[in-house]
Amino acid sequence: MLNTEAREQLQKLLPLDMVATKSWLEAQGLNLHFLDNAIRNQTLVPLAAGVYIRQEARLSWKGIVASLQCMTHTPIHVGGLTALELEGLGHYLSKGNKPKVHLYSAEMLPRWLARIDAPAQFEWHGTRRLWAETLMQDNQYLRQDSWQASLPSLHYSCPEKAILELLAIVPNTISFEHADQLMQGLHNLSPRKLNALLKACSNIKAKRLFFWLAGRHKHAWLKHLTPEKYTLGSGKRLIAKGGKLEPTWQITVPKDM
């Protein structure tokens, strides 16, 4: 029999549709004997070795990421293209059966994430060369997705932060054309947030690309920004191979753009 008190604690620690590792549940005070019994009688169902979900729970990528955010000490958030899609600003949704979910943190994602049969493909982006650690913990640049009532919310980047995260991976992961289409729809960005983020962002390429694309679409918020106050580096930056040098921001961009 499962101890009633321990069972209640398990339900509190692991709500339906969340996932947890055995080691994390143990660290929260559930003893190994209880956990082994819960696995034996299928109260806990294995997703992979050492990773569990409660019986009758439904596995979703939001549940997995919300669980990850609860279990890890290092701040981790949904960012880039996925964050823009959550705001309804994605130009078109990820193709294929499994959406690609872009996750941002200073430390690599835990290995178990690749071992479970998740309904999404998780792509990790390291933030050490993008954001200062203090900014990673600053909630004014994060939004919350209440994906399930009474469950922990999912944290994701605000659009101002998400677009800079996305531009850092052009053209390797995201094409110039796709970035351009996304920038076109960003009419309502906050100049105050952009100002703080452009000062805090350590990725020179992302910032120069940001100004070039914003200039192409003549967004109203652009006139409130002060490029001379941001660290934009010196010299030319090769971004598009075989492209053309854009004189203002000193970056190579596709010739047809």
Indicate whether 12 pLDDT > 90. yes
- pLDDT at position 133 is 86
User: For residue 245, is it within any domain?
Assistant: no
Q: Each residue of 132-189: pLDDT tens digit? A: 888 998 999 999 999 998 899 999 999 999 999 999 999 999 999 999 999 999 999 9
Residues 79 and 21 in one domain: no
Residues 106 and 180 in one domain: yes
Residues 100 and 204 in one domain: yes
Residues 197 and 95 in one domain: yes
Q: Each residue of 57-106: pLDDT tens digit? A: 999 999 999 999 999 999 999 999 999 999 999 866 656 678 999 999 99
Q: How confident is the model at residue 225 (pLDDT cuts 50, 70, 90)?
A: very high
Which contacts qualify for 209-213: CB closer than 8 Å, 24 or more apart?
Answer: 209/167, 209/170, 209/179, 209/239, 209/249, 209/251, 210/163, 210/164, 210/167, 211/248, 211/249, 212/246, 212/248, 212/249, 212/251, 212/253, 213/167, 213/179, 213/180, 213/183
User: For residue 210, is it within any domain?
Assistant: yes
- Rounded to an integer, what distance in angstroms lies between the CA atom of residue 154 and that of residue 148? 9
Crossing angle between the packed helical segments 204-217 and 159-167, to the nearest 10 degrees: 110
Residues 76 and 192 in one domain: yes
Contact 98, 82 (CB under 8 A): no
Residues 50 and 71 in one domain: no
Residues 111 and 44 in one domain: no
User: For residue 13, is it within any domain?
Assistant: yes
Residues 90 and 160 in one domain: yes
Q: Give the sign of the dihedral formed by CA 184, CA 186, CA 190, CA 193.
A: negative
Residues 195 and 113 in one domain: yes
Residues 32 and 65 in one domain: no
- Rounded to an integer, what distance in angstroms lies between the CA atom of residue 176 and that of residue 240? 9
- Number of independent structural domains in the chain: 2
Buried b (16+ CB within 10 A) or exposed e, 79-106: bbbbbbbbbebbbeebeeeebbbbbbbe
Average pLDDT over residues 211-216: 97
Q: Which of 36, 54, 72 is the last residue of a domain?
A: 54
Q: Which of 12, 29, 54 is the last residue of a domain?
A: 54
User: For residue 256, is it within any domain?
Assistant: no
Residues 29 and 144 in one domain: no
State the residue range of the domain holding 165.
Answer: 61-231
- List, in order, residues 6 or more apart from 50 with CB less than 8 Å away: 21, 22, 23, 112
User: For residue 12, is it within any domain?
Assistant: yes
Contact 137, 75 (CB under 8 A): yes
Q: Is 231 exposed, middle or buried (0-12, 13-18, 19+ CB in 10 A)?
A: exposed
pTM given for the model: 0.94
Residues 223 and 103 in one domain: yes
- Rounded to an integer, what distance in angstroms lies between the CA atom of residue 235 and that of residue 179? 23
